[in-house]
Amino acid sequence: MTSLRIGVLALQGDVREHAAALTACGAEVSLVRRPGELATVDGLVLPGGESTTIDKLLRRFELMEPLRQRIADGLPAYGSCAGMILLADRIADGTHDQQTIGGLDVLVRRNAFGRQIDSFEERLDAPALGAGPDDPPMTAVFIRAPWVEEVGPAVEILATVSTGPKAGRIAAVRQGALMATAFHPEISSDHRVHQSFVSMVGSAAAA
């Protein structure tokens, strides 16, 4: 069986960390900066970083429209932190000219979990990601993270913050071939999120 080729959008953000996590999960990884590179991948990761900067670079590198089209055609995509914002159909507290790729029927609020100085780790309630009551716990790292304030009827909530003052806040979602997390699994040694995405890409490729 041919190995899956998963791209990591390599315009800005945690590119190397995502590539390493995907490689550890058995995927072949390509860095994507141009439309021609986007055309060769079976799935795509949109890394954390600065969502407004990535938005501008997507347009500058003429990637925004090809990416919107591929996602509309069913390309599996996973966004972490800034990537979650980029996949959202609606954002709160964005800049006046900020655009998103869209595809996820959610409202995401930028920087909702706090500023850089407010970065924190928190345990998640995430049975869909292998972190239920009988599984090893998943501790997530939140860095200037967004949260999901509203979800459409087709959106599955994968994880919520389980303790602390932000308990119950939505930290991960999935809709069809799209998945997003408010946190940064790429900077931990827990690869359950990436493995879940690799499995999604495999299922889409098989179909």
What residues act catalytically? 81, 184, 186
C-alpha span between 206 and 74 (Å, rounded) = 13
Closest CA relative to residue 79, chosen from 2, 153, 168, 9: 9
Residue 155 backbone dihedrals phi, psi, to 5 degrees: -90, 130
